[in-house]
Every structure is written in C-alpha cells, then in structure tokens.
Amino acid sequence: MSADNNTFESVKSVILSAHKNTTSEEKVSFYNRWADNYDRDMAVLDYRAPSLAANCISSYFRGVREAAIVLDVACGTGLVAKHMRKLGFGHFVGVDGSEAMLDKARESGLYQDLKHCLLGEEPLPVQWAGTFDVVLIVGALSVGQVPVSVIRDMCKATKPGGCICMTTRSNHDNLEYKAALESELKQMEEEELWTCLEVTEVEDWERAVSEQEDGYISGAVYLYKKL
C-alpha cells in the first residue's frame, strides 16, 4: 500500500468513526479531537466544497468585496474564508459548535468575530437579523450534522439582496437529507423569502469513504438571494 493510500485509509477511518456519534456532546467531542488534523485530512480527501462555494458566490456578488460582511456558519477551521479571502472578501464572522475548531479559525487571523453556537439547538444571535451581505454554510448540511431548519436562521441573518450559499453531498447515505433540504429551499422560495440564483451539481465533490462507493462522491452548491 502506498503512503498516500495509507493516509487516505486513516482519514477514511476517522470520518467513518464520526457516524457512531449520535448525541450532540459526542459530535462536538469528535470535532474537538479532529481540529488539529482537519485541514490536512480534508486535503487528503480532495474536499472541493469550500472552493466551489467561494467561486459560486464570487460569480454573482456585485457589491464591494472588501466591505462585505460574511457570516460563515459551521466555519470549522476557516477553509471557506481562506478561499473567499483570495477572491477579495475581507470581513468574516464565524460560528461553530466546536471550541477547538474555533481556536483554529482564530489562529487563521481571517475572522473579525467568532462565536460558539450549537447549530440546530441554539438559534443564531437575534441581533444578527438582516446584518450580513453573504451567509454561507459549507459541509455541515448533511445527515447526522446540522438540521435543515438552520437555513431559515441563515436567511434571517442576511440583508435584503444578500447572498445565501449552501452545500450538501449527493452520496447514497445523504439522499434523504438532500431531498428534505431541497424541499425546504423550495418552500422558502414559495414564501418569497428568497429567490434561487444557481444550483450546481458537481460530480467530483470529494473522495468516497463508504465501502459502498468508489472513486468520488458528488455534491451540490445552492445559491439564493434574499428578497
């Protein structure tokens, strides 16, 4: 076995072990333990969601990027903010349920503010309503992680005319969650809370870790404008 395969096998083992965590406390503990190796492991996984989301936002955003306030929900170590920074965005607020991940995000120096929040169990701060030019969540909208209901909080936090970007995986284990997510996205559009700018299905999202899948799994990027 090559060193690369050996590394991938170890990353696969870490990710699959996360599926055993059922309570919020167990999930937070898992991410706290993973924080030191997270960026390296995501590179091994060839995880493309952060760059795909950043590029999608960049293609539609028409404001002054340096002045735009970006809310990075489930920010982790700051992978998305790193890509957004390269595209000219400079003001980031991050929120995550793992203190260790927030420590890594703090070390990046990219965020003006970072807050601890157990997404799905605690609402985003009410004072954030209508505050942000861009709100995004990358990687956390999937089965066993953040509930679909979080996107309504994200919409509330966005300025009228602002962008909301979300991603999810399209692998077999996440199809039921993805269907529920897309149903809520459509429902919110019917309620005239936002309008869809783009949905992009991506084949090579990240390397597959499930025994039932080979090669790469697919995923999707959703971009909406708040009305």
Does residue 3 surpass a pLDDT of 70?
Answer: no
When mean pLDDT is compared across 4-18, 66-80, 99-113, 142-156, the lowest value belongs to 4-18
2 pLDDT band (50/70/90 cuts)?
very low
Alpha carbon distance 99, 40 (integer Å): 19
Strands 158-169 and 194-207, by their bridges, are unpaired
Does residue 80 surpass a pLDDT of 90?
Answer: yes
Name the CATH superfamily housing domain 47-226.
Answer: Vaccinia Virus protein VP39 (3.40.50.150)
Does residue 1 surpass a pLDDT of 60?
Answer: no
Alpha carbon distance 196, 190 (integer Å): 11
Alpha carbon distance 92, 135 (integer Å): 10
Alpha carbon distance 199, 188 (integer Å): 15
pLDDT in tens, 134-160: 999 999 999 999 999 999 999 999 999
- Contact, 118 vs 24, CB < 8 A? yes
Residue ranges of domains in the chain: 47-226
Q: Which residues of 8-18 are buried (b: 16+ CB within 10 A; e: fewer)?
A: beebbebeeee
